[in-house]
Amino acid sequence: MAGPVWTSDPARGSTRGARELYYALSTKIPQQMEGKLLQKALTAGTAVILKEAKANVGRGGNFPRSITGTLKKAIYAKRGRKSDATQEVRFISIRRGNRAAKSGRDAWYGRLVEYGHRTAKKGSRLMRESNAKTKAGFDRYERKRAAGTIKGLRTSTGRADPHPFMRPAWESKKVEAQQRVMRGIEEQLEKAIKGARW
């Protein structure tokens, strides 16, 4: 399979084929510049999916509702920790934790919304385990349950349906995102090669 071929006008200082592209990358563009070049291209592609994920929150249908707007504000993109000299990674995630809470963007429940979760009903084992933090407390709860002094005892757990918003964003925009990344790489290469001395 043939590699990508750039057909831009050589008079503008751009490349025409794989050989020139390889030469430019291996000799004219410093390694640290390659990382910045790729991150700019990845940022352009990620922005498409990021925008769609935020739009899905509160869209209606099977998508999650947007009551406070926290979940929508908590969706963000950043450079991945696995980025190094051999690869560049960018990911989309949801802010959570103390730092996010200070800015009002702590959407710790985002994963539960995306994938669904179990819900505890009164008297269920899940609730007993969460309420009884010690063995003595658990035994006391069991004695009351056996004596029938706990009202409204039910032993089943429910299930909250998933309302995905990240996965649909990826599925619907991944082709456009890939095109944006490739276009971004071309644009950045054009600028870098135009400024390089041959």
CA 8, CA 78: separation in Å to the nearest integer? Answer: 32
CA 162, CA 29: separation in Å to the nearest integer? Answer: 46
- Confirm if 74 and 100 have CB atoms less than 8 A apart: yes
Burial of 57 (0-12, 13-18, 19+ CB in 10 A): buried
Task: Look up the pTM and report it.
Answer: 0.65
Give residue-wise pLDDT tens across range 67-114.
Answer: 888 999 999 999 988 888 778 889 899 998 888 888 889 899 999 999
CA 72, CA 8: separation in Å to the nearest integer? Answer: 40
Give residue-wise pLDDT tens across range 125-159.
Answer: 555 555 566 667 767 777 777 776 665 544 456 78
CA 5, CA 7: separation in Å to the nearest integer? Answer: 6
- Confirm if 58 and 64 have CB atoms less than 8 A apart: yes
Give residue-wise pLDDT tens across range 18-60.
Answer: 566 556 556 556 665 677 888 888 899 999 999 999 999 999 8
CA 15, CA 186: separation in Å to the nearest integer? Answer: 10
Query: Given pLDDT bands bounded at 50, 70 and 90, which one contains residue 171?
Result: very high
CA 56, CA 165: separation in Å to the nearest integer? Answer: 5
